[in-house]
């Protein structure tokens, strides 16, 4: 490698003036460290990822929807065709529903007295506070929806969330809250939403409650989830490119990334792995936690010229800072994409997966 290859664009700072758009701020003044990583991620999305032939999966971990990031960021990304499928914790999808029901979440402080809150029946998520009643109303709503006659069968989580999204979307219409929920927007856009640990949230708890109450026909099919997501990634690799945008770590991150070993290692279908890997995390890689696992650990690639835009970027930033910046940037700089409506094609994609499996395992 020649010495001059190490040099990217010259850092030529100018004074920041008022009236800058967030996209200009990111392009011109996010010059180094995690600022530069956010800038690289935004440019990567603009120049390579948000193109018609790329399928982008997004994973959501941490309490993002209670903070309002569902309506502010994820919904516009879905509506503009920038997200093709989602892997989320159940908690993000449960707290998402509060907004569709028009229930109030409030800003507060992380330094309040929790014993006092308990007496006043207030619930705290770090610096967000809401009435215990919000949970009771949301629970009653979820309990009734998952008890609905269309849901009394074996469902993948994408089907479960599609049917829940349909109900939430109808509720939004009634209450005038359209566009406030990820579930509603995903339903309308045909974006499949997966939850790898469906028992680990209040949605799972209400499905379990229905079984206790005597309705036990709704069974969540996690095997179908694994095959559907692998089928989406296979199709992306065969007919274009596959990208992942990871917010936080945990189970959704792994579930999104395991699609590739599921294809190559377990099913024996040769694929090249995800073409684009972007991750926003605040976790360190050296403590053995998945959230901080670096792309070099998850995918191997050739040497990268620092002057070129890398196809893998990790920004060590809080999602509440990164997500609104990235959303604002792509809404400014990228043309909306036609919706892929992958939810409607799940059956065909799984058939294609089975076909490729047969071809490779004669």
- Please, what sign has the CA dihedral across residues 98, 100, 103, 107? positive
- Whether residue 108 has pLDDT greater than 90: yes
Residue 319's pLDDT band (cuts 50, 70, 90): very high
Q: Which residue has the higher pLDDT, 288 or 233?
A: 233
pLDDT band at 206 (very low <50, low <70, confident <90, very high): very high
* Whole-Å CA distances, 32 to 26, 28, 359: 11, 11, 48
Reply yes or no on whether the pLDDT at 256 is more than 50: yes
**What confidence tier does 346 reach under pLDDT thresholds 50, 70, 90?**
very high
What pLDDT is stored for residue 297 in this prediction?
Answer: 59
Q: What percent of the chain has pLDDT over 90?
A: 85
Read off the pLDDT of each residue in 170-191 and give the average, rounded to a whole number. Answer: 98
pTM of the predicted structure, to 2 decimals: 0.95
Cβ count within 10 A of residue 197 = 15
The pLDDT of residue 298 is: 54
pLDDT at 304 (0 to 100): 34
Question: pLDDT digit string (tens) for 122-156?
Answer: 999 999 999 999 999 999 999 999 999 999 999 99
DSSP 8-state assignment for residue 262: I
Name the percent of the chain lying above pLDDT 70.
93
* pLDDT of the residue at 209: 97
**Can you give the pLDDT at residue 308?**
47
pLDDT value, residue 273: 82
Mean per-residue pLDDT of the chain: 93
DSSP 282: -
Q: Is the pLDDT of residue 5 over 90?
A: no
Q: Is the pLDDT of residue 7 over 60?
A: yes
Catalogue all structural domains in the chain, each as residue range(s) with its CATH number. Answer: 21-293+312-360 (3.40.910.10)
Reply yes or no on whether the pLDDT at 4 is more than 90: no
Q: Say what the pLDDT of residue 309 is.
A: 59
CB-based contacts of 156, cutoff 8 Å, min separation 6 = 194, 220, 221, 224, 225, 228, 346
Collapsing DSSP to helix, strand or coil, 219 comes out as: strand
What pLDDT does residue 284 have?
80
pLDDT per position as a tens digit, 257-301: 999 889 988 999 998 888 899 999 988 877 776 665 666 655 543
What was the pLDDT predicted at 291? 66
Report the pLDDT value the prediction gives residue 221, as an integer from 0 to 100.
Answer: 98
Least confident range from 61-65, 278-282, 310-314: namely 310-314
Instruction: Report how far residue 193's alpha carbon sits from residue 257's, in angstroms, rounded to the nearest whole number.
Output: 15
As given in the structure block, the two tokens for residue 203 are 């949605």
Tell me the pLDDT tens digit for each residue of 156-175: 999 999 999 999 999 999 99
pLDDT, mean of residues 339-361: 98
Given a cut of 90, whether residue 230 has pLDDT beyond it is yes
What confidence tier does 307 reach under pLDDT thresholds 50, 70, 90? very low
Is 70 exceeded by the pLDDT of residue 334?
A: yes
| Closest by Cα among 100, 210, 232 to 166 | 100
- What mean pLDDT do residues 60-88 have? 97
Q: DSSP states of 3-72 as a string? A: GGGG--S--------TT--HHHHHHHH--SHHHHHHHHHHHHIIIIISSTTEEEEEEE-SS-TTTTHIII
Q: Please give the angle made by the CA atoms of 72, 77 and 79, to the nearest 5 degrees.
A: 100
pLDDT value of residue 305: 37
Count of C-beta atoms within a 10 Å radius of residue 170: 13
């Amino acid at each position: 490698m020649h010495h001059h290859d190490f040099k990217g664009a010259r850092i030529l700072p100018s004074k920041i003036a008022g009236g800058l758009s967030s996209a200009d701020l990111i392009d011109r003044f996010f010059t180094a460290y995690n600022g530069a990583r956010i800038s690289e991620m935004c440019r990567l999305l603009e120049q390579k990822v948000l193109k018609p032939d790329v399928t982008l999966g997004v994973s959501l971990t941490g309490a993002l929807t209670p903070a309002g990031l569902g309506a502010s960021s994820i919904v516009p990304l879905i509506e503009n065709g920038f997200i093709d499928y989602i892997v989320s914790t159940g908690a993000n999808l449960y707290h998402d529903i509060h907004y569709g029901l028009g229930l109030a979440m409030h800003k507060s402080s992380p330094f309040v007295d929790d014993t006092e809150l308990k007496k006043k029946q207030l619930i705290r998520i770090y610096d967000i506070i809401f009435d215990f009643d919000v949970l009771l109303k949301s629970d009653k709503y979820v309990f009734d929806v998952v008890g609905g006659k269309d849901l009394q069968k074996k469902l993948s989580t994408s089907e479960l969330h599609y049917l829940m999204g349909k109900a939430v979307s109808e509720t939004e219409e009634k209450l005038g809250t359209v566009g406030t929920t990820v579930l509603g927007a995903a339903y309308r856009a045909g974006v499949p939403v997966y939850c790898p640990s469906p028992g680990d949230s209040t949605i799972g708890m209400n499905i379990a409650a229905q079984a206790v109450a005597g309705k036990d026909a709704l069974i969540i099919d996690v095997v179908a989830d694994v095959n559907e997501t692998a089928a989406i990634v296979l199709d992306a690799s065969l007919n274009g490119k596959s990208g992942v945008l990871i917010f936080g770590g945990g189970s959704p991150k792994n579930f999104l990334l395991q699609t590739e070993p599921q294809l190559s290692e377990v099913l024996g279908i040769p694929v090249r792995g995800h073409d684009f890997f972007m991750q926003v995390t605040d976790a360190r890689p050296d403590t053995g936690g998945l959230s901080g696992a670096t792309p070099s650990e998850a995918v191997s690639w050739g040497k990268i010229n620092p002057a070129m835009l890398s196809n893998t970027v990790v920004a060590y930033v809080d999602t509440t800072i990164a997500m609104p910046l990235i959303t604002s940037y792509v809404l400014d700089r990228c043309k909306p994409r036609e919706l892929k409506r992958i939810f409607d094609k799940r059956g065909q994609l799984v058939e294609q997966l089975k076909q490729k499996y047969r071809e490779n395992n004669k």
